[in-house]
Amino acid sequence: MTAPAESGEERAAAERKNEVRRVYRERNAERIREGKRAWRERNQDHIRAYRAAYDAEHRAEVAAQKREYMKGYGARKAAEARRRKAKAASSKKYYEAHKAEHHAYTRQWQARKRAEDPEGYRAMRAKAQRRWWETHKDEYNARLRARHRENPEPKRAQARAYYAAHAEELKAKKRAYYGANREKVLASNRAWKEREKRRLAAGLPPRRLHTTPAAERRANTAAADAYFTRVRTPEEIAALRRKPSPVELSQGTPPELVAAFERDSTRIRIEHALATDGTYASRQLLAEARRQLASQERATQREQRDAVENARLDAIGKQVNDQLRHRDPPRRRHHLDPDPAAPHPMLNPNTTMGMNR
C-alpha cells in the first residue's frame, strides 16, 4: 500500500515542479528567447554540423517526410490564398456596411485610451505612426511626387511664403553651414565647373534639367498612345514585313557621316579617359607645360622676327625719305668768312654805271 502513495506524491511533486517551470517561462519569456538566440549565434557551426550529420544519418526518412509534405503543398497554398482572399473580401464588405459604426467605435476607443493614460496613448500613436511610415514611406513619397508633378504651384507658393517669413533665419543657417563645410562646398563647386568644362569641350550642351508641365506630359502621352495603338493599313504592314533589297543593303552610311561619327567618338573617348583615369593627370600637366613653353618660344621668335623686320623697314623708309625729301637751297657764304677785316661789298659796289663811271 506504500508504493501507490509514493507514486502519488511523486506525481504531485512532478506537477508542482512543472507548474514552477511554466510560471518561470511565462515570467521570463523574453529573457529565455534572448538566451536561445544568443546561443544559436554563438554555436552556428555546431548547429550546422549537427543538422548535416542528422540528415546524412536519416537521409531516407528525411526524404520521405519531404515528399509527403510536398504532395499537398500546392493544394495547401491555393487553399490558403483562397481563404485570405475570401477573408479580405468579407472584411471589406463588412466595413463598407458598418463604416459609420466603425468610425464611432474607433473615436470612442481613442477618447477612452487618451483619458486613461495620455502619455501612454501618445507613445502608442507615435509608435504606430513610425511603424506605418516604415512600411508605406516609399508609396507615400511616390504619391507626393506624382501630386507635385501634376500641380507644382501649391508647394512653390508654400516655399515662397515660408522663405518670406523666415528669410533671415534661412540665410543665417546657410552662412553657418558654409562656414562649417567651406571646403566641401568649394570642392563641390569645383567639381561642377570641371564637369561643365568637360561637357562643353566634348561638344555637349550644358546640363539643364527642368520639370515638364503636366499638360505637356499628358499631351505627349496621348500622342504616343495614338501613334502606337493606331490601326495600320495593309500597305504599311507589308512594308514593315518586306525585307530590304540587296541594293538597299549595299547602300551604306555616307562616308562623311561615318567620318564625323568616328571623329566625335574618338574625341569623346579621349575626354572621358582624361577625366576618369588618374594616370593621365601627369601627362596632361606635362602636355600643358610643353604647350606653354612652346608658346613662349614662339612668342620670343616672333618678337625677334618683328624686331628684324622693323629695322629693315626703318632702313628702307630712311633711304626713301633721303631721296624724296625737299632740300633747302645752299646757304650763301658770309662776307666775313674769308677775311673778317675786308670791307662790306655793298660799300664799294663794282659797277660801271652811274656817277662812278
> Could you read off the pLDDT of 222-256 as tens digits, one per residue?
999 998 888 888 888 888 787 766 656 556 778 88
- Kindly list the distances between the CA atom of residue 352 and the CA atoms of 47, 55, 348, in Å, as whole numbers in the listed order: 160, 165, 12
Grid coordinates representing 167 are 528669410
Judge contact between 103 and 96, C-beta under 8 A.
Answer: no
Better-predicted residue by pLDDT, 278 or 190: 190
Other Cβ atoms within 10 Å of 102 Cβ, number: 13
pLDDT of residue 357: 44
Percent of the chain residues past pLDDT 90, beyond the cut: 34
DSSP 72: T
pTM of structure = 0.34
Report the phi/psi class of residue 203: left, alpha or beta, with left for phi > 0 and alpha for psi in -120 to 50: left
* Helix, strand, coil % over all residues of the chain, rounded to 5: 80, 0, 20
The answer to whether the Cα torsion of 22, 28, 34, 35 is positive or negative is negative
pLDDT (mean) for 209-213: 75
Whether the pLDDT of residue 1 is over 50: the answer is: no
Buried b vs exposed e over 202-227: b needs ≥16 C-beta within 10 Å?
eeeeeeeeeeeeeeeeeeeeeeeeee
Q: Residue 116 and residue 119: Cα distance in Å, rounded?
A: 9
Residue 130 has pLDDT above 90, yes or no: yes
Residue 356: what pLDDT? 47
Q: Is the pLDDT of residue 174 over 90?
A: yes
Task: Please choose, from the candidates 111, 133, 135, 132, the residue with its C-alpha nearest in 3D space to the C-alpha of residue 121.
Answer: 111
Contacts 24+ apart (CB under 8 A), 147-151: 149/211, 149/214, 149/217, 150/214, 151/214
Q: Which residues contact 212 (CB under 8 A, 6 or more apart)?
A: 220
Q: Is the pLDDT of residue 327 over 80?
A: no
Instruction: Find the mean pLDDT for residues 82-95.
Output: 93
Task: Please tell me the predicted confidence (pLDDT) of residue 167.
Answer: 92
- The angle formed by the CA atoms of residues 81, 86 and 89, to the nearest 5 degrees, is 125
What is the mean predicted confidence (pLDDT) over 3-12?
A: 69
Given a cut of 50, whether residue 2 has pLDDT beyond it is: no
293 HSE (CA, 13 A, CB side): 6
Poorest-pLDDT segment among 44-53, 69-78, 137-146, 325-334: 325-334
- pLDDT at position 350, please? 53
Does residue 20 register a pLDDT over 70?
yes
Q: Please give the average per-residue pLDDT across 36-42, as a whole number.
A: 92
- The residue-averaged pLDDT of 54-60 equals 88
Angle at 32 between CA 30 and CA 33, to 5 degrees: 65
pLDDT over 60 at 8, yes or no: yes
Choice among 165-174, 180-189, 229-238 with the minimum mean pLDDT: 229-238
Which of 158-172, 268-282, 310-324 shows the highest mean pLDDT? 158-172
pLDDT band at 122 (very low <50, low <70, confident <90, very high): very high
C-beta contacts of 34-41 below 8 A and 24+ residues apart: none
Higher pLDDT, 194 or 283: 194
Q: From the centroid of its chain, how far is CA 129?
A: 31
Confidence class for position 214, pLDDT limits 50, 70, 90 = confident
Quote the cell numbers at residue 181: 563645410
> What cell was used for 31?
529573457
